[in-house]
Amino acid sequence: MSFKIVEQCTPRLNRTEFAVPGSNPKFIEKAASSKADVVFLDLEDAVAPDDKVQARKNVIAALNDLDWSGKTISVRINGLDTHFMYRDVVDIIEQAPGKADLFMIPKVGTAADVYAVDMLVTQCEMAMKLTKRIGFELIIETALGMANVNEIAPASKRNESLHFGVADYAASTKARTTKIGGPNPAYHVLTDADDKGGREVHWGDMWHYAIARMVVAARANGLRPIDGPFGDFSDPEGYKAQASRASVLGCEGKWAIHPSQIDIANELFSPSEKEVSQAKRILEAMEQAAKEGKGAVSLDGRLIDIASIKQAQNLVQKAEQVSGHK
């Protein structure tokens, strides 16, 4: 272990991150009774410029009037390059004090972006004498943000999670796709010809590097890595496959941009009974090994050692978090 202890952010269940446009009060009301772990009310890209002011009013009303219990409630504020952002922060804290758990900051490019919002939020909270501190969710969705992700992740004590915003990231890096998330058949490997001259096409995941890079920056700073949107809500299998890849890499959850995606993410990011019972067997076997003074033993013909304890504990802790939430 390094001498540096990584401080972990406020723990929250974050299997789903449900995106709801602030301009649509009906959708907001439905979101409050959904099964999403985290709901973010969007003031940014799902809201047209002419609707921004009304959307802010809707969000303030929803924070004050709806029952969000059992959920984490977040507001995606506008970007730092707009004139909407400061008023999003000021109005939400002043007119719905203590109601939002998190602010989601889009298109974070540098650590100074986070610092600037932190300063504004801190001033508003101080002026309102609030003791509950708003946490930050940061979307990594530009080439600049990804290039600076290691400085962005530790930029504020408020930081809780990094999110991969695949749509803006594709635009920013000029990736050749117009879809929101998912694979691209052009990103493939062609195998060498076999004896009969046959060749196979193996699809790759064009987002692998970006997600893996964000996961490492998040985990190295005690934050939750969360995978962003999958635009084709008529393709549940495609959504599930993308969520599964993200979870294998270490993400704790994924955005849902449609209610039909919520159950899929909740299930996929919860450890299965089989995984949990195997993890418990590993912990028992390692406890016995420790009594016998051994650091490594075999279980079902496979080596397990002290690192296996941590892997198994992660799964058991996640299962406890999920069952505590029900």
Place of tokens 């446009």: 21
105-144: contacts with ligand GLV (CB under 6 A) = 139, 141
d(CA 288, CA 60): 55
The smaller minimum CB distance to ligand GLV, of residues 136 and 282, is found at 136
Q: Which positions ≥6 away from 276 have C-beta within 8 Å?
A: 315, 316, 319
Both structure tokens of 115: 């610092």
Backbone dihedral angles phi then psi of residue 42, each to the nearest 5 degrees: -95, 125
228 is a contact residue toward ligand GLV (CB under 6 A) = yes
Q: Which is nearer to ligand GLV, 138 or 217 (CB)?
A: 138
Residue whose tokens read 């890096």: 173
Choosing among ligand GLV, Mg ion, none, which partner's interface includes residue 166 (Cβ < 5 to 8 Å by kind)?
ligand GLV
Q: Does 205 bind Mg ion (CB under 5 A)?
A: no
For residue 100, state whether it binds ligand GLV (rule: CB under 6 A).
no
Q: What's the CA angle centered on 257, arms 56 and 260, to 5 degrees?
A: 130
Q: Does 22 bind ligand GLV (CB under 6 A)?
A: no
Footprint on residues 165-204 left by Mg ion (CB under 5 A)? 165, 168
Token look-up 């219990």 returns 69
Identify which of residues 138 and 155 has a Cβ nearer to Mg ion in the complex: 138
Residue 32 vs 251, nearer CB to Mg ion: 251
- Residue identified by tokens 């969007």 is 42
Nearest approach, Cβ of residue 166 and ligand GLV (Å): 5
Strand pairing category for 224-227 and 253-256 = parallel
Q: Tell me how many residues contact ligand GLV (CB under 6 A).
A: 8
Q: Which residues are near Mg ion by CB under 5 A?
A: 141, 165, 168
Q: Which residues are near ligand GLV by CB under 6 A?
A: 139, 141, 165-168, 228-229
